[in-house]
């Protein structure tokens, strides 16, 4: 079962069938992410084939990991499978 952990806490957990894998990143469905650990960030980036990514800070036990999660709220057609999913980086451990 894929899961994402940071600062000793499981941030996301999903069945393997529920995740999408794109460019080496595991994208968890939003319902598999513990939303209480996410705070909207102002960061936005653009990918030529996925579209516009919005970021979140991950906050656990008083520590903040800035822009450590991202989602494509309205991905382009080539990446439509990651709509409603979120991925992690910057020291967040993803297993499974």
Q: What is the pLDDT of residues 2-17, one digit of tens each?
A: 999 999 999 999 998 9
Q: How far is CA 23 from the centre of its chain?
A: 13
> What distance in Å separates the CA atoms of residue 9 and residue 57, rounded to the nearest whole number?
15
In terms of residue numbers, what domain contains 50? 3-95
Q: How many domains does the chain have?
A: 1
Enter the pTM of the model.
0.95
Give 37-40 contacts, CB < 8 A, sequence gap 24+: 37/9, 37/11, 38/69, 39/64
| Cα 65–Cα 68–Cα 70 angle in degrees, nearest 5 | 150
Q: Is the pLDDT of residue 39 over 90?
A: yes
pLDDT value for 16: 87
CATH of residue 83: 2.170.150.40
């Amino acid at each position: 079962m894929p899961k994402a952990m940071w600062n000793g806490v499981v941030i996301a957990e999903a069945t393997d069938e529920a995740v999408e894998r794109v460019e080496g990143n595991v994208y968890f469905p939003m319902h598999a992410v513990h939303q209480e650990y996410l705070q909207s960030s102002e960061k936005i980036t653009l990918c030529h084939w996925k579209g516009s990514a919005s970021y979140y800070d991950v906050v656990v036990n008083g520590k903040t990991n800035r822009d450590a999660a991202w989602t494509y709220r309205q991905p382009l057609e080539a990446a439509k499978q990651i709509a409603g999913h979120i991925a992690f980086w910057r020291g967040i451990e993803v297993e499974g």
